[in-house]
Structures are given as C-alpha cells and as structure tokens.
Amino acid sequence: MEISGLNQRRVVTGALVISVLATSVGHAADQAERQMALCPPSNSLLVLRLSALGPNRQATCDIAALQALPQRELVTSLPTGLGPPGAHRWQGVSLRLLAQRMGATPGHDLRLAALNDYAVTVPWSDLERYDPIVAHQRNGVPLSVREKGPLMLVYPFDAHPTLDTQQYLNRSIWHIQAITFK
C-alpha cells in the first residue's frame, strides 16, 4: 500500500503530535511527582529512612529535607528522665504528615526505629489524637546526638496529662533513623 505525499505528511504530523503529547504528559507527571516528593532532594548527611510496603514508597530524608517540609512547633515538658526539665519549644514535622506522604491511612501502624535498633509501634490513633512531631530542634537549636537527636518523637505531654504513662514514655523514641508502615 502506497501513501500519497499529503497522506504521508498527515501520518508524520500525527506521529509528532502524539510524541509531543506523550512527552508533555510524562514531563508533567515527573514534575507533579517531584512536587509531592516525600522529602525534597538535598546534599546533607542522610539521617532518616522512610519506607512502606510498595516499590514507589521509599525515601531518604536528611535534616535539610525535613526542614523543607511544613513545620510544627510544640511547647511542652517531657516527663522526668526523658529530657531536660521544664517546658521547651520543639520544632519538627508532624508524624501524621510524614505518614500521609508515605501513603499511610487510618488503620496503619507506624514502626519507628532508633540508631541502636530500639523500635516502637505508634498506632494511627496517636496521630489523630495527639499529632506528635518528629522534632529536630529544641528552643531553636538543632538536637545533637547527646541531646537525643538528631530526631526525637515528641508528644504534647503538657496538653494531655494522660500521656504521662510508661506506654507513651516508651513511644517517645529518640535517635530515630527509620519510619515504616505496613
């Protein structure tokens, strides 16, 4: 079958239009994925690994990437033995926000692991009821390893006195290195 000159131009033009559209759609999808990225790219040292069951739900976040996410501030005291006495201003990222960006939904439990392999399970109900933060600063100063940093899970103990139990003391994990959900 022979294609005339006019029809041949139409076929080539149609193929180019399809190619441009496919490239544009792919480019738009890449941009949208980057905008919704769990942690924006950064050149700082790796401090947190986030993952879930699924091939596209893994990310590594450093302090700069976590600071690029929406921040929350929580003014609270920590129970005796958990941190310095008195109320402090903790800054960090809502654990619920991180969980949602990872693809978690109500009903999922989160597992937080520390550098020493200590791990805790935080139920979704804690995220809804208390909205704890993954703190990276106290009173505007980055948390050092000596001060239970660089990341620590902080619950609003002063706003909810019922949190002052061994169960929530155990969940207030520090030296966080990984967060996963199933």
Domains of the chain, by residue range, sit at 1-36, 46-181
Helix, strand or coil, per DSSP, at residue 81: coil
Element (H, E) at 109: strand 109-114
Question: Whole-prediction pTM value?
Answer: 0.75
Q: Are strands 46-52 and 58-62 parallel, antiparallel or unpaired?
A: antiparallel
Fold of 46-181: Sulfite Oxidase; Chain A, domain 2 (3.90.420)
What pLDDT is stored for residue 49 in this prediction?
75
For 83, what's the count of Cα atoms within 13 Å in the CB-facing half-sphere?
27
What pLDDT is stored for residue 157 in this prediction?
97
What amino acid occupies position 10?
A: R
What pLDDT is stored for residue 61 in this prediction?
79
Element (H, E) at 82: none
The owner of tokens 């490239």 is 23
Helix, strand or coil, per DSSP, at residue 130: coil
Q: How far is CA 141 from the centre of its chain?
A: 21
Report the C-alpha gap between 173 and 175 in whole angstroms: 7
What pLDDT is stored for residue 66 in this prediction?
86
What pLDDT is stored for residue 76 in this prediction?
97
What amino acid occupies position 124?
A: W
What amino acid occupies position 128?
A: E
Q: From first to last of its 182 residues, what are the pLDDT tens digits of the chain?
A: 455 554 444 433 333 222 232 333 343 344 334 334 566 666 665 567 776 654 566 777 788 888 888 999 999 999 988 888 999 999 999 999 988 888 888 988 999 999 999 999 999 999 999 999 999 999 999 999 889 999 999 999 999 999 999 999 999 999 999 888 87
